[in-house]
Structure 1
């Protein structure tokens, strides 16, 4: 998928989907050309798990949690454990950035399918902390979450290889 500009007009479901897809594809653009070793370097002293690869894996986990668990009400394996609440940030043995990006793209495809045709006002099949959640809330949260982590990708990328985002 190429990053398409978000249309200036349209109904709410189409605009929410377009903005989320814009930010999802931005993740791939921010990671383009990064060296494998740089993808797993954590340059921020107070954030030792914040790597380019870790950010991609975290976004994959968040997509799964919000769309599979909350929107669709499905039971899926957890991306973290009580023993390791930061598990999704850690590099998976034998996997690199290409695998992390492929998993992210595949998870976004699952998320799109699960949200397709749902009205923003619809309540999700699952709950969050015991509360009902609207599809609109999930879409807005995922736009915010993905955009925020794109900013983190910018900062980490500049620190590890000097590439500056736009």
Structure 2
């Protein structure tokens, strides 16, 4: 049996709500959009770099966003030391190297990192601050992470649109 990325029913983006509801709702909407762009594709299709000359793939985006979730919510906000699933000092861009990737395992890793990110911020104030790792030690608040993550997913979902269309012609939101 050939593994395929699971079909997904995306929760509509929120139109009304308090700030936390809007930020969490839009972030979840974009998380689900990335998975929607992958839905129904085989592991080989997910590994296809289809927008030449870029080597970017849908699976690479899923792997990358799993690490971005860990980086911002856990390493930066919580201050945890995170064991990244792909990143190494020798290969900081290993998330995009899908040559030996296991798509099914990588999708599970993505879901797990999203769950850990949600747990990291549950009940925490959007005004709570932290000093960012790396990025010149800037002081940011949790609200900033939400806004940044929505922006990061939106940008990469644009990439995913193009990649998916070139793989099998599927277009849409």
TM-score computed with the length of structure 2 as normaliser: 0.86
Change (3 A) 1:94 1:12: closer
Shift, 1:61, TM fit: 0.7
How large is the Cα RMSD of the aligned pairs? 1.9
Q: Any conservation in 2 of the 1:74–1:126 contact (CA below 8 Å)?
A: no
Q: Any conservation in 1 of the 2:51–2:162 contact (CA below 8 Å)?
A: no
> Which structure ranks higher in relative contact order (CA pairs < 8 Å, sequence separation ≥ 6)?
1
Shift, 1:53, TM fit: 0.5
Q: Distance in 2 between matches of 1:165 and 1:7?
A: 19
Q: Distance in 1 between matches of 2:54 and 2:89?
A: 20
- Give unmatched runs, 5+ long, in structure 1: none
Match of 1:164 in 2: 171
Query: How do 1:102-141 and structure 2 match up within 5 A?
Result: 102-124=108-130, 127-129=133-135, 130-141=137-148
Q: How many residues are matched?
A: 164
Q: Distance in 1 between matches of 2:134 and 2:127?
A: 16
Q: Distance in 1 between matches of 2:132 and 2:152?
A: 19
Moved more, 128-137 or 108-117: 128-137
Match of 2:5 in 1: none
Match of 1:52 in 2: 58
Q: Distance in 1 between matches of 2:20 and 2:101?
A: 39
Change (3 A) 1:77 1:21: same
Change (3 A) 1:133 1:127: farther
Deviations 1:19-51 (A, max 9, x none): 101111111211111122111011222322x01
